Amino acid sequence: MTNRLINESSPYLQQHAQNPVEWYPWGEEALNKAIAEGKPMLLSIGYSACHWCHVMERESFEDRDVAAIMNKWFVNIKVDREERPDLDSIYMLAVQSMTGSGGWPLTVFLTSDGKPFFGGTYFPPTDRHGLPSFTKVLTTIGELYHQEPEKVAENAEQVINHLQKILSSGANSEKTQVHDSQIHQAIQGLKNSFDWEHGGLGTAPKFPQPLVHEFMLQYADRFKDEDALNMVLQSLDAMSAGGIYDQIGGGFHRYSTDRSWLVPHFEKMLYDNALLSSLYLNAYRITGLLQYEKVVTETLDYVIREMISDNGGFFAAQDADSEGVEGKYFVWTSDEIICELGRSDGEILCQYFGVIDGGNFEGNSILHKVTTENELAAIHNMTIVKLREILDKGKMHLLNIRYQRIPPACDDKIIVAWNGFMMRAFAEAGSVLQSSQYTNVALRNAEFLLENLSDDGILCRVITEGSPKGEGYLEDYASLIDGLLAVYRCTLNLEWLTQADALAQTMIRLFWDEESKSFYDTGINHEKLVVRPRDYFDNAVPCGTSLAVNALLQLGSMTLSKRYREIADTVLSGKNTFAANNPFAMSNLLRGLDFHLAPPSEIVLVGSNRQLDESALLYGCHKRYMPNTVIAGGDPSHPAYATFPLMEDKSLVGNEVTAYICRDYTCGPPITELNELESYLTLREK
């Protein structure tokens, strides 16, 4: 038995292709059927790595009796939220407005013209924990729709009016002057929510907050705030020691169900690992501590092993479940480890990773660090070098054993926005860690994504089975621009800056609304929906507006484009007070605000492409954490060199790579020696 999802390329939709539910993908066929038959639509939104999505499928969508009720009363539509963030944004906001909460699976009931009138998230098969059974919800809503159509229509109209009000109020924020007090206010709000015992923000469930922590690092650098820095480092230490981090294979799971980072939901998302890699890399830049470098390399190496396609694209996610059991692939028993490694080495790994008889998770153990290398070496009367040799060898052996297990499913969609995040992580790591492998991964990914641009420079949303699909959203354009700028900074090859500049112009044309002075998330030619979405709040990934503002600030500094800077300034002047009051949800925009308020600083390096590839001066810039400094330059022989005003009047000295440090629009003398460059940069830090 199959339904219409069998023809879809999304792995999430394919997971539901054998359900007895008569699922439709979102599209004209389903929408026209609802109108023709006068039926409401049941819209179910989720994603392939979502644990509770799998639970609801097993309990309800695979049940023939439940499916019969669904098929009788509704036109049933399945949507992959990662393919259609616009639909997810609209209907998630609707459910949050109606119920006060949201999440996935998202279950929304729509009128035949697509307006939401009732919704929720997960519904159980029987009444429990205060939730009505799914069958009860289906029957009640189905009967209500046909018995009281006027009431349903009135409720749907109220929801749409409320959504319009929310979206328009966000766009029409009063413009106010930006100033540092807003940054200070935001940081104080974050400090008030910090968990000083376990690190991170808030209580259980506890999510990594890479965007918040990046803002705090940026603040700590500019204002020399040791508390802000220590809050970030304590959080990073706790996460990398916890079960949320894959101690054997590298990479981070989605979030922790407890306050101490021990028990995760086991799915691995590309965006988490991209954003966290960049965050740990910045911690390494600041502190020089190898423990942060190790997290970066283990995470990026995991991506290379398991999350990259033959053509250089990055896959979207790995599932939480294997063999129908959450976390089965990742957990261990002490007997397993000792059997594989021998008693002596096995007991050492068990002691280091907290593996005990009976386990800490459903009879098994989630590996997490419960002691330090120094403490464990002292207990066993051995050197740190010897202990690390045992740990590294043991981890590699266990990883090879784990590869013999049935792995979680991999969602092999290549999502442009998330690829932009990971492109940046690899490019920056290649520069800071002097890894040509990481740099080449970023370059290959950039080339692959640009190859999938349409002839008129339009981006797709996803690439599946080698084919582009769907129109790109604001976040896709802005994230790819950001990734290309990272590749440009790491190579100073002007081709990448030129590509980023061209994409920025297309982004403004498609998404910037001159009337409301704000960005929409969907382009001007996008499918007409019940409302046109625009989001100013970051979630697990930065929102399109904050990404666009940061990209335009960077590009504005490199190109001296008044248009770029005017748009960024307009958004910041309209959202600064709002962001200061909502630092958790708008930290990425606050990073842009901090960049905007900081004294402008640029470093321009001039040299041939070959010289710059091997330049000690370029490495000297990248190894330092300088979030509010623009690094630019390139080969003077490149046709585009003279078109960028920042490069004007800057040339080679003595045929050597030459650096110019500029501040407040005034440049210092040319520098060709690394020690002289480092002296200038050290002076900047004081």
Say what the pTM is.
0.96
Tokens of 54: 């799998």
Distance CA 496, CA 665 (A): 24
Tokens of 259: 């306050």
CB-based burial label for 150 (10 Å; 0-12, 13-18, 19+): exposed
Q: Determine contact, residues 661/680, Cβ cutoff 8 Å.
A: yes
HSE on the CB side for 370, CA within 13 Å?
A: 14
What single string gives the DSSP state of each residue in 131-170?
Answer: BPPHHHHHHHHHHHHHH-HHHHHHHHHHHHHHHHHHHHHH
Which CATH number, 3.30.420, 1.10.10, 3.40.50, 3.40.30, labels domain 601-685?
3.40.30
Tokens of 562: 């008044």
DSSP 127: -
Distance CA 494, CA 484 (A): 11
HSE on the CB side for 316, CA within 13 Å?
A: 24
The residue among 12, 42, 164, 141 whose CA lies nearest residue 93 is: 164
What is the second-level CATH architecture of the domain 330-404?
Orthogonal Bundle (1.10)
**Is the bond leading into 408 cis (omega within 30 degrees of zero)?**
no
For helices 474-491 and 494-511, the axis angle rounded to 10 degrees is: 160
Q: Determine contact, residues 267/49, Cβ cutoff 8 Å.
A: yes
**Count of positions (residues) in the chain:** 686
Q: Determine contact, residues 483/420, Cβ cutoff 8 Å.
A: yes
The dihedral built from the CA positions of residue 55, 59, 64 and 69, taken in this order, carries a sign that is negative
Amino acid identity, position 611 = Q
627-653 in b/e form (b: 16+ CB < 10 A) is bbbbbbbbbeebeebeebebbeebebe
242 Cβ neighbours under 8 A, 6+ residues apart = 256, 260, 261, 262, 368, 369
Which CATH number, 3.40.50.150, 3.90.1170.50, 3.40.30.10, 3.30.420.40, labels domain 4-171?
3.40.30.10
Number of Cβ within a 10 Å radius of residue 381? 7
Distance CA 286, CA 277 (A): 14
HSE on the CB side for 380, CA within 13 Å?
A: 21
- Strands, E, within 306-395: which ranges? 317-318, 321-322, 325-326
The residue among 308, 321, 246, 310 whose CA lies nearest residue 276 is: 246
| pLDDT for res 119 | 96
DSSP 198: T
The residue among 232, 254, 233 whose CA lies nearest residue 243 is: 254
Q: Determine contact, residues 74/39, Cβ cutoff 8 Å.
A: yes
Distance CA 562, CA 666 (A): 18
Q: Determine contact, residues 296/280, Cβ cutoff 8 Å.
A: yes
| pLDDT for res 46 | 96
CB-based burial label for 323 (10 Å; 0-12, 13-18, 19+): exposed
DSSP 241: H
Q: Determine contact, residues 616/674, Cβ cutoff 8 Å.
A: yes
- Strands, E, within 133-282: which ranges? 255-256, 264-265, 268-269
The residue among 632, 623, 570 whose CA lies nearest residue 600 is: 632
Beta bridge partners of 203: none
Domain range annotation of the chain: 4-171, 180-322+411-597, 330-404, 601-685
Q: Is 350 helix (H, G, I), strand (E, B) or coil?
A: helix
pLDDT < 70: residue spans in the chain:
170-174, 684-686
Tokens of 170: 């966000």
For residue 599, report the phi and psi dihedrals to the nearest 5 degrees: -60, 130
What is the second-level CATH architecture of the domain 180-322+411-597?
Alpha/alpha barrel (1.50)
Domains 4-171 and 601-685 in one fold: yes
Tokens of 191: 């400090």
For residue 531, report the phi and psi dihedrals to the nearest 5 degrees: -145, 160
Q: Determine contact, residues 355/348, Cβ cutoff 8 Å.
A: no
**Is the bond leading into 105 cis (omega within 30 degrees of zero)?**
yes
Distance CA 24, CA 4 (A): 6
Amino acid identity, position 232 = V
Q: Are strands 264-265 and 321-322 parallel, antiparallel or unpaired?
A: unpaired
Tokens of 485: 């700028």
